Amino acid sequence: MLPKNYRVVSPLVFQKILEQGEQRENQYFKIFFKENNEDVSRFAVIINSKICPSAVERNLMKRRIRNIVWKAIPSLPSGFDVLIFVKKDCLETPFQALKKQLEEFLMKILRN
């Protein structure tokens, strides 16, 4: 589980990231990110119910992605707020492939 200090929880911060942040996407994810001028990076995972109607499957995918992020935090740069929107292709992807894709994508966009 991702501790609270690593989560985007405020609706105001969420809106600010969407309006003022940068956006990148690949086959599996659409990621919005913005610098937060803090010592830690914060993350949120969003899965639209139109993409995955089952709440059980949505929650499972969110837990998996949060786990990937939690293990990748030491290698990621700090000082960013990140929103991870999951795309439909992500749902059929095996966990190890998903982990590799997300880690590489986060490294690529947050290091530049």
Taken in order of first residue, the domains within the chain and their CATH numbers are 4-111 (3.30.230.10)
pLDDT of 92 above 80: yes
**Sheet hosting strand 22-25, strand order edge to edge:** 22-25, 29-35, 80-86, 42-46
Which pTM was predicted? 0.93
pLDDT for the residue numbered 71: 94
The confidence band for 109, taking pLDDT boundaries of 50, 70 and 90, is very high
Question: pLDDT (tens digit, 9 = 90+) per residue, 35-60?
Answer: 998 999 999 999 999 999 999 999 99
pLDDT of 91 above 90: no
pLDDT of 112 above 80: no
